Amino acid sequence: MALASLVALLHDDIMNDDVAARAEPVRPTQKPIRLIDEKGVPVEGAERAGFVLPEPEMLLDLYRGMVLARRFDVQVTALTRQGRLATYPSAFGQEACEIGAVRSLGEQDWLFPTYRDSIALLTRGVPPEQILSSFRGDWHMGFDPYEHRISPQATPLATQALHAVGLATAAKLKGDDVVALTLLGDGATSEGDAHEAFNFASVWQAPVVFVVQNNGYAISVPFAKQSHARTLADRAIGYGMPGYFVDGNDVAAMHAVTSAAVQNARSGGGPTLIEGLTYRIESHTNSDDPTRYRSKDEVAHWKTLDPVARLETYLRASGALGDELRQEIADAAEELAGATRDAMNTNPVLDPLELFDHVYAAERPALREQRAFLERELAATVSTASVSSGSVSTASVSAEPGSTS
C-alpha cells in the first residue's frame, strides 16, 4: 500500500471516532476580558466577551475579601521582616485573581494552591495561624486538608495541577459532584507537570479549572524569556479545551469567567484554562531584590491598575459601598491583622517526633526505626543538658546517642 494511501486510511480511522464530533474549543480573545476598567467604570461591548457583572452582593463580598487579604499580606510581610517567619511569598496586587477564582467554588469543591496563594486559603476559611505554621517552620502544613478541601500549598512548580487532575478524575468516576480548581504561576506553565496535567485533564474530560496567574515573572525571569506565545491561554487550543484571557486585576471578570468554567466542569464539560494577567507588587519572597530585574516605572504603572481601588471606585459610584460599610470592612481587616500578630507572637510547644506522624496511613518498619532513633537522641540530649545543669543523677549520663539504655 502506498504511503499516501496508508496515511489517508489512518486519518479516516481517527476521524471516524468521536474526534470529529468534538466542538471547536473556545478561543481566547485578543484582548483580556474585563467588566470594570482601571478607572472603576463598567466596560461595555466586545471586551466583556459575553460575560456579565456579578450581582452587587457578590461584588461587595469580593471587595471585602480583597481588603482583608491585602491587610493580611502586609501584616505577614512585616512579621517576616521582623524574623517571626522564615519566609513569605506575598500576593499583594494579585488579590483579584485569587479571590475571584476561589469565590467561584462550592463547599464540596477542592482547591489546589501554590506557596504564593495563602490569601486563597484565607478566603476559603483557614485560620491565619494554620496558614502560617509551615512558613514559620512548625509543620509541613498546619491545616486539615479534608476539613477545608484544600491540598497542601505546593512548592514544587505545577505538581499540584496533576494532583487536581487526579482528584477530579476520581471524583468523576465515583459520580461525586466535585470540581477541582488549581492555581499556577506563569513560570509553572513551563514545567512538564503542567503539560501532563493539561493534556490528561482534556483526554479524561476531568472537571478541573486551571487558573494561571501571569504576574510577569518567574522569580526574576520575565515572561518574554519564558514563552513566545501571545498569551498562555492560547495553549488551551492545543489541548482541546476552552481558554480565556482575562484582566487579572478585574475581580468581577475573574469571578464571572471562573464561575462559568466551574459550572461547565460540573455539568460534564471538562477542563478550562484561564489566564489572569496580573502583577505582584511585592518581591518574589522576602529574600529577593526585585530592583535588580524590574524598573520603578513598571511597578508604578501596575499600581495604577490596583484591583482593590478599581472595585472600590465602582462600588462607591454605584452606591453599594458607603463610608460606614467601608470603615466596617477596614476595622475587620485590622482585627484580622491583630489576630495574626498575636498568633505569630506565641511560641508553640512542638514535639519533634510529630515529624513522623501522617507520613503513611500504616507506618512502615523503616519509619518506626527512624522514630525510635530520634527518640533516643532526644532522650540523650535532654539527659546531657540536665547533667550540665546538675539536676539529674549519674544514671542518666550513661545514655549515649543510639543507646537503648
Active site residues: 280, 284, 293
Q: Is-contact 172 207, C-beta < 8 A?
A: yes
Distance CA 297, CA 304 (A): 11
Distance CA 26, CA 23 (A): 9
Q: Is-contact 211 182, C-beta < 8 A?
A: yes
CB atoms within 10 A of CB 350: 12
* Phi, psi torsion values for 154, nearest 5 degrees: -80, 130
Distance CA 141, CA 134 (A): 5
Cell 480573545, residue located: 29
Strands in 115-247 per DSSP E: 180-185, 208-214, 217-218, 221-222, 243-247
Amino acid of residue 309: A
Distance CA 196, CA 73 (A): 32
Query: Angle at the Cα of 282 (from 279 to 286), degrees rounded to 5?
Result: 135
Which residues are within 8 A (CB) of 372 and not within 5 positions of it... i.e. 6 or more apart? none
